[in-house]
């Protein structure tokens, strides 16, 4: 996920040094307004997330989850720093995942879309080492890791608040009509929460439910930035669909190699794993 809201660090005055002396105000870009997550808490959060995945799914999913998460979020960080939102930092959320946060918000909806899609697109790189180890060892367990990396990025494209898909597709829908964005994001958000509850992903379901409620309570849905043009809306939709197709292709390739029975078996096995097929 990515957070395009600006970071903020409050001022702290010295104690016992007498009246404060006036100091020149440095430009905003020179101040570290996004100090990032403390090292100890980052390690603890990562360990908690890895432990939960290992307990629920096994060691290869824990490894793929952490590697996939870090590469995914680093994609957001690279885009934020490149597009004027930096310095960006990665935050690990215990038991849930992570988020990338910039020091300032996106200057336009177009930049916000690019940042949102950078995570899932760049995150697919994390599948490469799992394919490589499988090719070197012949152990199919590594294909499960490659599949899980792809699924992490694909699920993040779901247009449900606060996932990347809502930030990438929301402005496109709002360009058509603001009510279309609200109806689509809240409807799909409710479906994703229901999916989480049906499949025992209770922590994820609660997290997404809070995201949907936050959107319901928000006064203005669109940031006070330049909206997408029609050309940008078309490009955004195309990139969204292409990124989703790439994630699905990587995941199905990994599962097809794992089952050895072709695309049909890969679709069926993936669907059962995700609770979408019996």
More confident site: 95 or 46 = 46
d(CA 241, CA 192): 19
Structure tokens at 117: 């899609």
Q: Which of 17-21, 221-225, 228-232, 253-257 has the lowest mean pLDDT?
A: 17-21
- Order of strands, sheet of 2-3, starting from the edge strand that comes earlier in the sequence: 2-3, 97-101, 89-93
**E strand or H helix at 100, and its extent?**
strand 97-101
Helix/strand/coil percent split, the chain, to 5: 65, 5, 30
Taken in order 108, 109, 110, 111, is the CA torsion positive or negative? positive
Mean pLDDT of the 91-113 span: 89
Cis peptide upstream of residue 162 (ω within 30 degrees of 0): yes
CA 258 centroid distance within chain: 26
Mean pLDDT of the 225-231 span: 88
More confident site: 216 or 182 = 182
Residue 51, phi then psi, degrees to nearest 5: -65, -40
Question: Residue 2: which pLDDT band, with cuts at 50, 70 and 90?
Answer: low
pTM surpassing 0.85?
no
pLDDT at position 13: 36
């Amino acid at each position: 996920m990515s957070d395009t809201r600006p970071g903020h660090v409050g001022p702290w005055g010295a104690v016992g040094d007498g009246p404060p002396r006036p100091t020149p105000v440095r430009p905003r870009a020179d101040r570290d307004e996004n100090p990032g997550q403390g090292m100890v808490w980052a390690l603890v959060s990562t360990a908690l997330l890895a432990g939960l995945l290992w307990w629920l799914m096994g060691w290869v999913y824990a490894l793929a989850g952490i590697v996939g998460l870090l590469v995914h979020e680093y994609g957001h960080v690279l885009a934020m720093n490149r597009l004027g939102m930096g310095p960006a930092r990665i935050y690990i959320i215990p038991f849930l995942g992570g988020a990338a946060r910039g020091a300032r918000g996106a200057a336009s909806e177009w930049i916000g879309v690019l940042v949102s899609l950078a995570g899932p697109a760049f995150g697919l790189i994390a599948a490469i080492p799992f394919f490589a180890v499988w090719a070197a060892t012949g152990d199919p367990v590594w294909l499960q890791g490659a599949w899980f990396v792809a699924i992490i990025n694909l699920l993040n494209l779901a247009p449900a608040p606060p996932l990347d898909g809502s930030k990438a597709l929301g402005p496109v829908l709002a360009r058509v009509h603001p009510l279309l964005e609200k109806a689509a994001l809240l409807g799909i958000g409710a479906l994703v929460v229901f999916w989480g509850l049906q499949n025992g992903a209770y922590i994820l379901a609660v997290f997404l439910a809070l995201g949907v409620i936050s959107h319901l309570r928000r006064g203005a849905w669109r940031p006070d930035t330049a909206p997408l043009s029609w050309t940008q809306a078309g490009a955004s939709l195309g990139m969204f669909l292409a990124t989703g197709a790439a994630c699905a292709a990587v995941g199905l390739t990994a599962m097809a190699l794992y089952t050895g029975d072709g695309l049909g078996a890969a679709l069926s096995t993936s669907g059962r794993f995700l609770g979408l097929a019996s």
